[in-house]
Amino acid sequence: MELYNYFRSSASWRVRIALALKGLQYDYKPVHLRRNEQFQESYAAVSAARLVPLLRDGDAVITQSMAIIEYLDETHPEPPLLPADPVGRARVRSLAYDVACEVHPLNNLRVLRFLVHDLKLSEDDKNRWYRHWVETGLETVERQLAAQPSTFCHGESPTLADCVLVPQVMNAQRFDCRLEHVPNVRRVFDACLQLPAFADTQPSRCPDAEA
Amino acid sequence: MELYNYFRSSASWRVRIALALKGLQYDYKPVHLRRNEQFQESYAAVSAARLVPLLRDGDAVITQSMAIIEYLDETHPEPPLLPADPVGRARVRSLAYDVACEVHPLNNLRVLRFLVHDLKLSEDDKNRWYRHWVETGLETVERQLAAQPSTFCHGESPTLADCVLVPQVMNAQRFDCRLEHVPNVRRVFDACLQLPAFADTQPSRCPDAEA
């Protein structure tokens, strides 16, 4: 398998975690988003959205981090990244989407670029925007973790929800977002970072990492 | 089952389509987002994110439209809303996420409110923002539909991808977005609207519809 990704893309990191949890080997293919390599012809020809991550598995080309993780879970079921019962699966997906659909889309590189370059938002307003969605989004996750606490987001082993939450929390730290109000989120984050699948795949340890 | 939703919420419509495709009955519980009913105590007590849609199925409370649809597909498998093969399932989910993670989160009510009320964006800039994400996001979907054309997004029966695409296209029409560049998207939209599961659940036909 080949994973096209960028060290700082949190959607890319989600997939690196899932691959590591399943013990799957892959070739790391860097795509430098800040240098706009995603728009180069060779990459744009395979990636309809000109985004990372993208997984090549034989003839299959799969985009969108959560579609990739669900695919990996279906084709390599052990260890499972979703619980067995439908209500548990729904809870895990819902927690993942609370980050992947309500927080991350508002704060990724191309959106911040549009706010600053096209809509001429000030750096202060951009940061206010960023923190607002992170802080309110993580509060949503916190309420659910507090209502049904466990070592990881759902139960005693990592799931899709942890793959999505951990990169978002690391971004929150990088942008000085408030995290005092989300103690369960921080607790789960710390538990995950104890595991090599999370720690060894973090941005700073990627082949294309920059200071 | 009870579905909490708002006629104009396109995430709510996704779930109404899925329920209709599966022929499932439910109680329609309106939550008026513009009147901020999602923040009222009775609703906020069950909805961690204070968002719609939310499905109650017995004791289970499920949030996030795509988690709800996956849950319905697992608990009521016929007709399936995902294909049987893992690569096909990944393609359908990826198409759905291309809208649900790259377009819709940028343009929902609370985001537009923040842009206008908190960041003081002009009406013109707000509309430019809205159209930019719709037009580029649908272009991503278009490339994939053009590369592998079929009656619906994937194959000859509707899937999760159609449940997500159709409400987004209707929003695009409402906000006068450009659609000439996405002929396959328009074709699939038209095919879906021929089906009662799509036509009969559209916003204007909801119990809480307003002019």
The pLDDT assigned to A33 comes to 83
- Distance in Å, alpha carbon of B174 to nearest chain A alpha carbon: 22
pLDDT band at B4 (very low <50, low <70, confident <90, very high): very high
Q: Do domains A2-79 and A86-197 have the same CATH topology?
A: no
A34, A112 Cβ separation under 8 angstroms: no
CATH of domain A86-197: 1.20.1050.10
Question: In terms of CA atoms, which chain B residue is nearest residue A125?
Answer: B119
Are B71 and A48 within 8 A, CB to CB?
no
Q: Can you give the pLDDT at residue A49?
A: 78
Q: What is the pLDDT of residue A50?
A: 83
- Please list the ranges in chain A whose pLDDT falls under 50: none
Between the alpha carbon of residue B43 and those of residues A101, A192, B19, B32, B206, the distances in Å are 21, 32, 22, 11, 20
pLDDT tens-digit map of B81-133: 999 999 999 999 999 999 999 999 999 888 999 999 999 999 999 999 999 99
**What's the confidence (pLDDT) of residue A44?**
77
Q: Quote the ipTM score.
A: 0.96
**Is B31 within 8 Å of B37 (Cβ atoms)?**
yes
Chain A neighbors of B104, CB-CB under 8 A:
101
Q: Which chain A residue has the Cα nearest residue B99?
A: A101
Residue A47 has a pLDDT of 82
Contacts of A129 in chain B (CB under 8 A): 114, 119
Secondary structure of chain A: what % helix, strand, coil (to 5)?
A: 55, 10, 35
Rg of chain A over Cα atoms, rounded to whole angstroms, equals: 17
Nearest residue of chain B to residue A108 (CA atoms): B102
* Cβ-based contacts of A49 with chain B (< 8 Å): 98, 102, 140
Contacts of B74 in chain A (CB under 8 A): 86, 89
Please check the confidence at residue B48 and state whether its pLDDT lies above 80.
no
- B48–A118 CB contact, under 8 Å: no
Contact state of B64 with A101 under an 8 Å Cβ cutoff? yes
Res. B49 pLDDT band, cuts 50 70 90? confident
If you average pLDDT over every residue of chain B, what do you get?
A: 95
Q: What's the whole-number mean pLDDT along residues B71-81?
A: 98
CA-to-CA separations, A211 to A158, A176, A206, A207, in angstroms, rounded: 29, 18, 11, 12
Q: How far is the alpha carbon of A46 from chain B, nearest alpha carbon, in Å?
A: 10
**What is the pLDDT averaged over residues B192-202?**
98
Bond preceding residue A79 cis, omega within 30 of 0: yes
Chain B: give the shortest CA distance to residue A36, in Å. 16
Q: Residue A60's pLDDT is what?
A: 95
> Do the Cβ atoms of A90 and B98 come within 8 Å?
no
pLDDT value at B64 more than 80: yes
Least Cα distance to B17 among B178, B168, B181, B210 occurs for: B168
Contact A63 B129 (CB under 8 A): no
Distance from CA of A199 to the nearest CA of B (A): 26
Contact: B98, A64; criterion CB under 8 Å:
yes
CATH topology of domain B2-79: Glutaredoxin (3.40.30)
Is a pLDDT exceeding 90 seen at residue B33?
A: no
Q: How far apart are the CA of A140 and the nearest CA of chain B, in angstroms?
A: 5
pLDDT (0 to 100) of residue A188: 98
Q: Is B35 exposed, middle or buried, given 0-12, 13-18 or 19+ CB atoms closer than 10 A? A: exposed
pLDDT of residue A46: 80
pLDDT at B160 over 90: yes
What residues does each domain of chain B span? 2-79, 86-197
